[in-house]
Structure 1
Amino acid sequence: MPRITAPTVAEHRSRRRDELIQAATEELLESGVDAVTLARVGKRIGLARSSVYEYFNSATDLLAEIALGSFAEWTGEIERALAGSATASERLDGYIFTSLRLVAEGKHDVADALGGTRLPDYHRREVIELHVALMSPLRDAVDQMGVENPSLMVELIQGLVEAGSRRIARGDDYVRVARATISLVHSGLTPATPADPSVPSDASSLTGTH
């Protein structure tokens, strides 16, 4: 019978599960997705592959747990950073700045390492839900600022954040990148205005083409 290293069996299993996820994350970052097997992960913490099956059915399930944990951690960091923001503009700036700070701190390395890993449908749905939650502070801030075409602006802003992330990964200072990104975003935010019935909605009428 395995030696219990916690006050209760449930706590022991929870700790062991966390150890396996941590070991899998280290394997992922060191050697890539293909290196994450139940045998290799178990070996890192002195556990036989047969014992690892008591916690995870497959390496794919283990990778899914890494992805879910990474999203949850990132979302928590964003929420804590924006907790004291009083205005939508401050929340927007905070979202951009914190996202790029986390990249500089290496928090995006797991997502990069997972790359295009295909997960089972039931795990993919969970990841999508967490991604929606992660983006909600940005969507809410843009909506509250009353800009033109908020859904488009959210995608464009996220695109700028991703471009800034790549610059940081290449060695740029995250503060400088964040300030430039925030400045560029604000220069492109156009307040929504009521539709003017005198302006034709058909683009062809504006160009004289039909």
Structure 2
Amino acid sequence: MPRINAATVAEHRALQRRAVLDAARDLLAETGQAPSLAEVGKRAGLARSSVYEYARSRDDLMAAVVADVFPGWADRIRTAIAQAPTPAEKVWAYVESNVAFFSGSEQRVARALGSVVDPAILHGPMQEFHTALQEPLREALRELGDPAPDAVADLVDAMLLSATSQLRGAQHPEVGIDDRAAALAPLRRVLGPYLGLPATD
């Protein structure tokens, strides 16, 4: 009888868990509601009994999605900031990547999670998400020589929330490039001179 490789089994389980979480996230984005385990299994191509190996209930599944998506979102934005070559461009990368977040499927997932998940479960991951993003922004502002990086970081966030209010409230499946450009334009007009960014057409 062939031996079962423990690494292969672990890899298989990791792939199945990834499929379950991706299916749950996609269904959340599409419907705005917490999917059943049967719906997740169907989307992931797994039997419901297989889904039960990773979540015993809908609430367990949503908690697992929360634990999975927030660090991933933060990593993507932090990576965009880290790849920018100068402090000023790091600040603008923070702005651009946040606008992309607010206009993408991630925001629909976040909005759905806010309506279907216990606030006590959401509070910790959301705080960690905000902190994870604020740290590189504030560091970039310090490198830029700003005398009050904490206050300016809060102002940048306030401007982002104002500029993306329509994007965050959008109910249609996809926000277009023109919508994102419209959100970025006033931010560029205000922040561009401060950051010393080249003017755009």
Whether these two folds match at TM > 0.5 is yes
* Equivalent in the alignment of 2:74: 75
Q: CA 1:58–1:124 in structure 2 vs 1: closer, same or farther (change >3 Å)?
A: farther
Larger Rg: 1
2:185 to 165, 179, 184: 179
Structure number with higher helix proportion: 2
Change (3 A) 1:90 1:26: closer
Counterpart of 1:147 in structure 2 is 146
Deviates more, 1:140-149 or 1:130-139: 140-149
- Structure 1: which amino acid aligns with 2:189? S
Q: Is the 8 A contact 1:75 1:134 kept in 2?
A: yes
In the alignment, which residue of structure 2 is the partner of 1:66? Answer: 65
Q: 1:116 to 1:18 in 2, by over 3 A?
A: same
Contact kept, 8 Å, 2:35 with 2:58, in 1: the verdict is yes
Counterpart position of 2:198: none
Q: Which residue of 2 aligns with 1:135?
A: 134
Matches of 2:92 and 2:100, distance apart in 1:
12
- Please identify runs of 4+ aligned residues in structure 1 that moved more than 6 A: none
1:1-50 Cα offsets, whole Å, 9 max, x none, are xxx9xx822112111111111221122122223x42223323433412x4
SS of residue in 2 equivalent to 1:76: helix
In structure 2, the CA distance between the partners of 1:128 and 1:164, relative to structure 1 (3 Å rule), is same
Cα separation, partners in 2 of 1:57 and 1:134, compared to 1, 3 Å: farther
One-letter amino acid of the counterpart of residue 47, structure 2 = L
Tell me the amino acid that sits aligned with residue 28 of structure 1: L
Shift of 1:68: 3.5
Offset of 1:122 from its aligned partner?
6.8
* Cα distance change on mapping 1:127 and 1:68 into 2, 3 Å: farther
Asked whether the equivalents of residues 32 and 108 of structure 2 are also in contact (C-alpha less than 8 Å), the reply is: no
Cα separation, 2, equivalents of 1:121 and 1:166: 25
Identical pairs, percent: 32
2:16 aligned with 1:16: yes
Is the contact made by 1:68 and 1:130 (CA closer than 8 Å) also made in structure 2?
no
d(CA) in 2 for partners of 1:70 and 1:177? 24
Unaligned ranges ≥5, structure 1: 190-210
Q: Which TM-score applies when normalising by structure 1?
A: 0.69
**Distance in 1 of aligned mates of 2:76 and 2:118:** 25
Which whole-Å CA distance do the structure 2 matches of 1:92 and 1:73 have between them?
20
Letter in 2 for 1:47: A
Q: State the alpha-carbon separation in 2 of the partners of residues 107 and 126 from structure 1.
A: 15
Contact 2:62 2:117 in 1 (8 A): no
Aligned pair in 2 of structure 1 residues 129, 105: CA closer, same or farther (>3 Å)? closer
Distance 1:107 1:17 in 2: 19
**CA offset at residue 174 of structure 1?**
1.7
CA RMSD of aligned residues (A): 3.2
Structure-2 separation of matches of 1:129 and 1:99: 16
User: Matched residue pairs, number?
Assistant: 183
State which drifts further: 166-175 or 8-17. 166-175
CA contact (8 A) 1:70 1:110 kept: no
Whether 1:29 aligns to 2:35 is no
